[in-house]
Structure 1
């Protein structure tokens, strides 16, 4: 499914992305067009450059080239500035404040959208954006629970909820379903579909069953370069992808 962006800040265009660490080139000339309304997956063997691309797009790795969002090149900008431009990410291990409640985690995520006065004065009710995010990620009934008692899947959903509160229009998710139960994977896929209509969702993933079920678009990376890009059907039919990647995954993946 291809959806034409309706707002220029809700897609990400990457051209000639290169990331090098000394003499080692981890990402070499990657081009990506990541559209609003799509759940787009980055797949490939270990070491293909998937997470490094996300790191470069969020200021955690040195990137050369152009990565345009809202008319601004993200490359070379500090992480906090990129986040302020509406680009958010999650990590393979959820980075939530485990000693704080679900409500407090979501509340902290929304601080930059509030005036200084509203941050200082005590609030008698849950902010609307926090309440909406909690409902979307299915954690309303756990708002007063410490984040540390959540299941692995729920922590990932909380981290996604924190991006919702931040009003991130581009979400880069690094292996969000790794370690999840089958039920949690299904719920995560449905969550990505729900929130993806008005956002650009990019997912790094190894679980090809999950990719098959929920991908609108797929880019296969190998040795830091794009091997193929298109629909899942196109990717599965590509002989080079089958040789380099799909043949190395679970039996029948191709």
Structure 2
């Protein structure tokens, strides 16, 4: 087990008696691209919601010596765990640079926020370069293409120094070129971080996943490499489906 892994044990989430997530054990380690897949309603987003403080969960989720369950969302962010959503949550009227600068302010002491800033913080410049938006830094975020908005959200996590990133369907609606660029971006930033992607695009999963966790009915159905998941009969039955020749398709 990697010493810097986010370790989840017996995590459950209930809504009015319905168990949306039930007894999940999973670990997310730095240096690998970890994908969460499964049918709609499998509990993927609810699991991430519990790990980022948006819903209440029971069990344990430890990271960096801290128990995340029970912490408020902003304290989880400060602990180094961040997320994106299916719909990009950027400030459309503000520039790319301003969006990143606001995100970077998360870790500045409150008393310093009232003072004028001089120049662009190094972390913001570095994030702009990594997400490929340096040339668009002064453009309003609202004019960005769909894929570029998703990259900006990832950049906002970078300047917050998120060491664990949960990305919810990042490539949904992207062009083939944008998906390829996103895969390269995740590979670059994931070398020293923990990247967990909720995804339905099986081609993207096949091309980029190091580890795949399959959820079904609120539980972990299977976990392993792409090849192991594709060969798993239970996964084929409940999610991937079968062709007439028995080959997995998506």
Per the TM superposition, whether the score is higher than 0.5 is yes
The aligned counterpart of 1:130 is: 124
What is the Cα deviation at residue 73 of structure 1? Answer: 1.0
What is the Cα deviation at residue 112 of structure 1? Answer: 2.5
Which secondary structure state, in structure 2, belongs to the residue aligned with residue 148 of structure 1? helix
Extract unaligned runs of 5+ from structure 1.
none
The aligned counterpart of 2:249 is: 253
CA RMSD of aligned residues (A): 1.6
The aligned counterpart of 1:197 is: 191
The aligned counterpart of 1:172 is: 166
What is the Cα deviation at residue 118 of structure 1? Answer: 4.7
**CA pair 117-62 structure 1, distance change in 2 beyond 3 A:** closer
Q: Distance in 2 between matches of 1:112 and 1:32?
A: 29
Summarize deviations over 1:106-156 as a string: whole Å, max 9, x none: 000011223456533323311100000010000000000000000110000
Matches for 1:1-254 after TM superposition, within 5 Å: 5=2, 8=3, 10-116=4-110, 118-247=112-241, 252-253=248-249
Q: Distance in 1 between matches of 2:201 and 2:242?
A: 12
* TM-score, L = length of structure 2: 0.95
**CA pair 117-78 structure 1, distance change in 2 beyond 3 A:** closer
Extract unaligned runs of 5+ from structure 2.
none
What is the Cα deviation at residue 252 of structure 1? Answer: 4.8
Which secondary structure state, in structure 2, belongs to the residue aligned with residue 203 of structure 1? strand
The aligned length equals 247
What is the Cα deviation at residue 243 of structure 1? Answer: 0.8
What is the Cα deviation at residue 222 of structure 1? Answer: 0.4
What is the Cα deviation at residue 76 of structure 1? Answer: 1.3
Which secondary structure state, in structure 2, belongs to the residue aligned with residue 110 of structure 1? helix
Which secondary structure state, in structure 2, belongs to the residue aligned with residue 144 of structure 1? coil
Summarize deviations over 1:160-184 as a string: whole Å, max 9, x none: 0000000000000010000111110
Q: Which is further off, 107-116 or 24-33?
A: 107-116
Contact 1:49 1:223 in 2 (8 A): yes
